[in-house]
Amino acid sequence: SVRLNQKLAIFGGTPTFGDKIYVGRPNIGDRLHLLNRINDILDRKWLSNGGKYVQEFESRIAKILGVKHCIATCNGTVALQIAAKAANLTGEVIVPSFTFIATAHALQWLGLTPVFCDIDPHTHTIDPQMVEKLITRDTSAILGVHVWGQPCNVEALSAIAQRHNLKLIFDAAHAFYSSYQGRAIGNFGQAEVLSFHATKFLNTFEGGAVVTNDDELANSIRLMVNFGFAAGYDNAMSIGTNGKMNEVCAAMGLTGLESLDEFITINHRNYKLYQQELGGIPGVRFFTFNESEKNNYQYIVLEIDEKITQISRDRLMQILHAENILARRYFYPGCHQMEPYRSLFPLSQEQLPYTNCLGERILTLPTGTAIIPEDISKITRIIRFVLEHGLSISQKLS
Ligand code: T4K
């Protein structure tokens, strides 16, 4: 093991990869199809504002998800803001802290108060039992996050929302193409919000959407995305912003949609390879998905229990970074530990125990169409080696 230690780049060896391997490398479809679409956009000189590609993209997404309305936006964060505004959320909104900061920021930006809730340590999604305990007279909604594309406990959350007359919205930024009890994510709560950011399973460079089966809500959202203007009218019917998706972004999305099956096949292959290579290491949990549901397998998630592996997640990450494998600590620290929330709503260490604990344990690994099986073998060989020699490597590094 001493000899292998010396080979690790952190101990001066040559990095396993010459070029950096990233988490969140975009899935890119057929380049020629994209360029043809962009040429068409330039020829027709229609670049934004309800153009044909945005319309086509919205109807394709709605059809794939089996949802009545899809309103495409410039990104997922603005989609969250518009959904929350259109649904008339007020006062407090219960939200997990274990999420990307955009979930909390979207609420705070609107003058709403994010009330941070812990997660279920098994599914990593908002804990319905704690949600119920956090409800006050000022609570207007629950905002669940289908983190990693793993659906929230939609049934329990819907029951709570109904019982307390609360709105229920989902941040489905990670969950395009996932299903819950056989039904596509996008169909639950009052509305669900998608992200098509570059790092997402399906990307439009930057982009997002609100999807809903509620006609009235869809109508408000459609107005708000475009300054409150109704199609064909030049006077505002409501408050609005500029949340529109542009034509080039929609062209990218449509091109990606043509390769959706390929993206899924590759992500699933990668997921199975990682699972096979990293299974059975003491102190390591490989986050698994229910294979009887649909998932996009865009996130490869490891939980490292330092007490057992005797090497911390952060040390492992450092070692991987030295090998040019840029594993990421999503979501560390939790939203409640970042500003402005840390100062505005200080919470004690005991209040969100699973969020804090998982924040210290989770490492996400590279996947997607940019990765080949040999890369995964190399990555997993290093991880396995490091974790199996946790104590000696930790000692050498300290
Ligand atoms: N809700 C949730 C639960 C979310 O996860 C997100 C976004 C949102 C809401 C908001 O949706 P958007 O407004 O973003 O549509 C990244 C993404 O920027 C963000 O979209 C995403 N979540 C979050 C989980 O990840 P960072 O700060 O980690 O980005 P960055 O620049 O460090 O890039 C991440 C990795 O991707 C790096 O390893 C490099 C690689 N990358 C990135 C880009 C942009 C590429 O290889 N190519 C690229 O073009 O936030």
pLDDT, position 349: 82
Confidence bin at 5 (pLDDT 50/70/90): low
pLDDT, position 141: 98
Residue 336 domain-assigned (yes or no): no
Specify the ligand 1 atom closest to the Cα of 78. 13
Ligand 1 contacts CB of residue 25 (under 6 A): yes
Ligand 1 contacts CB of residue 153 (under 6 A): no
User: Is there a single domain that holds both residue 12 and residue 49?
Assistant: no
Ligand 1 contacts CB of residue 197 (under 6 A): yes
d(CA 243, CA 395): 52
Residue 358 domain-assigned (yes or no): no
User: Is there a single domain that holds both residue 58 and residue 152?
Assistant: yes
User: Is there a single domain that holds both residue 103 and residue 213?
Assistant: yes
Look at residues 223, 257, 291 and tell me which one is the last residue of a structural domain: 257
pLDDT of 3 over the 60 cut: no
User: Is there a single domain that holds both residue 386 and residue 267?
Assistant: yes
User: Is there a single domain that holds both residue 86 and residue 122?
Assistant: yes
d(CA 245, CA 243): 7
**Percentage of the chain lying above the pLDDT 70 cut:** 98
d(CA 350, CA 103): 22
User: Is there a single domain that holds both residue 19 and residue 99?
Assistant: no
CB 5 within 8 A of CB 313: no
pLDDT, position 163: 98
**Percentage of the chain lying above the pLDDT 90 cut:** 95
User: Which residue segment(s) compose the domain that 315 sits in?
Assistant: 2-26+259-327+366-397
User: Is there a single domain that holds both residue 124 and residue 195?
Assistant: yes
User: Is there a single domain that holds both residue 276 and residue 155?
Assistant: no
User: Is there a single domain that holds both residue 297 and residue 391?
Assistant: yes
Mutate to test the pocket of ligand 1, among 199, 249, 335 (most ligand atoms within 8 A of CB): 199
d(CA 78, CA 196): 12
Q: Which of 305, 292, 318 is nearest to 358 (CA)?
A: 305
> One-letter amino acid identity for 106?
A
pLDDT, position 348: 87
CB contact set of 265 (below 8 Å; sequence gap of 6+): none
ipTM of the complex: 0.98
Residue 341 domain-assigned (yes or no): no
Report CA(368)–ligand 1 centroid distance (Å). Answer: 14
d(CA 365, CA 305): 17
Nearest CA to ligand 1 atom 16: 199
Specify the ligand 1 atom closest to the Cα of 77. 13
pLDDT, position 234: 80
Confidence bin at 6 (pLDDT 50/70/90): low
User: Is there a single domain that holds both residue 35 and residue 184?
Assistant: yes
Nearest CA to ligand 1 atom 17: 199
User: Is there a single domain that holds both residue 271 and residue 133?
Assistant: no
Residue 79 domain-assigned (yes or no): yes
Q: What is the CATH number of the domain that holds 288?
A: 3.90.1150.10
Look at residues 257, 272, 304 and tell me which one is the last residue of a structural domain: 257
Nearest CA to ligand 1 atom 20: 197
**Number of structural domains found in the chain:** 2
The span from the first CA to the last CA of the chain, in angstroms, equals 17
Q: What is the CATH number of the domain that holds 122?
A: 3.40.640.10
d(CA 370, CA 27): 7
Give the range among 113-127, 189-203, 224-238, 287-301 with minimum mean pLDDT: 224-238
Residue 77 domain-assigned (yes or no): yes
Nearest-10 crossing angle of helices 215-225, 76-86: 130
User: Is there a single domain that holds both residue 159 and residue 65?
Assistant: yes
Ligand 1 contacts CB of residue 326 (under 6 A): yes
Q: Which of 146, 155, 134, 226 is nearest to 178 (CA)?
A: 146
Ligand 1 contacts CB of residue 310 (under 6 A): no
Residue 197 domain-assigned (yes or no): yes
**CA separation (Å) from 334 to 6, 30, 289, 354?**
35, 37, 23, 10
d(CA 94, CA 126): 9
pLDDT of 2 over the 70 cut: no
CB contact set of 347 (below 8 Å; sequence gap of 6+): 116, 336
pLDDT, position 233: 78
The helix/strand/coil state of 88 is coil
pLDDT, position 4: 60
pLDDT of 232 over the 80 cut: no
Report CA(198)–ligand 1 centroid distance (Å). Answer: 7
Average pLDDT score over residue span 261-283: 97
Question: How high is the mean pLDDT of the chain?
Answer: 96
Ligand 1 contacts CB of residue 186 (under 6 A): no
Specify the ligand 1 atom closest to the Cα of 147. 3
27-71 pLDDT, tens digit each: 999 999 999 999 999 999 999 999 999 999 999 999 999 999 999
175-212 pLDDT, tens digit each: 999 999 999 999 999 999 999 999 999 999 999 999 99
Average pLDDT score over residue span 92-112: 98
Report CA(199)–ligand 1 centroid distance (Å). Answer: 5
Look at residues 257, 272, 287 and tell me which one is the last residue of a structural domain: 257
